[in-house]
Amino acid sequence: MNKSIRKTRFDNLSRKRLDRALDAIGSIENLANKANYDYNLAEVNDLAGRLMAKVKLVMSAFGSGSPEDRFNKLIQQDQLQYDLLKVSDPEVHAIVTSRLNDSSYKMKETLEPTEAEIVTQFKNLYDQLTNTQQSVLKNKSVMTKNIHSPDDFFLLDPRFDLSRLRAPHNINRLIWLGAQGKTYQEILSPGSPYYLPDDAPITNLHWDIKEGRVLQDPKNKLLK
């Protein structure tokens, strides 16, 4: 049975966008290195809260059902996280299992804010995330305009660690770009790995620049 165009489009884009999201989240993990960064628990909790809230908000967009359906969706996501812990962190998985099996265990009742204050906090967080997403979409629209000349020159940032990436299409185009670099005209040329389904080369180029993978050579010429 042939797939519909919409199903094929979902299959292609979901994998690509998931790879991008995982790469971006992976880059946050690098911030945990105390040798390079300084942070406190409140800042880490803020990062975690925003990440988890965004994931919940995104997944809630996939269909809308009854309150019971939405509750079951949350339970399924928590079950998946619990199952993944068994591989990623067996010690924490064992603790969670013991707590789930302990009927006397209860969640800590240390939430000081009232219910209304909690709702307000999540509404403010949702508004911030929504505004940020709109800003990103606006910036992406601006970036898709041709703002480079054919001789502008781009190269792989030598400080970027390719082993951080998992998606083959991301790795392949950066290897192709290399330390010797390519001109903007070469990046736009037919056969360039910067061409991906439903994404213009300039969009992928600006994504690599934003993620700290690619540099524009200030002299715009081939490095010897």
Give yes or no for residue 154 having a pLDDT over 90: yes
Question: Can you give the pLDDT at residue 165?
Answer: 86
Q: Which backbone phi and psi does 193 adopt, to 5 degrees? A: -70, -5
Q: Which residue from 50, 68, 211 is spatially nearest to 133, judged by alpha carbons? A: 50
Give the pLDDT score at 41: 83
Query: What burial letters (b/e) apply to 67-105, b meaning 16+ CB within 10 Å?
Result: eeeeeebeeeeeeeeeeebeeeeeeebeeeeeeeeeeee
pLDDT of residue 177: 92
pLDDT of residue 210: 87
pLDDT at 6: 86
Look at 18-32, 130-144, 149-163, 199-213 and tell me which has the smallest mean pLDDT.
Answer: 130-144
State in Å, rounded, how far the first CA of the chain is from the last one: 53
What mean pLDDT comes out for the span 202-215?
Answer: 88
pTM: 0.41
pLDDT in tens, 37-68: 898 888 888 888 788 877 877 776 676 667 77
In 3D, which of 76, 129, 189 has the Cα closest to residue 177?
Answer: 189
Residues contacting 61, CB < 8 A, separation 6+: none
Residue 140, SS3? helix
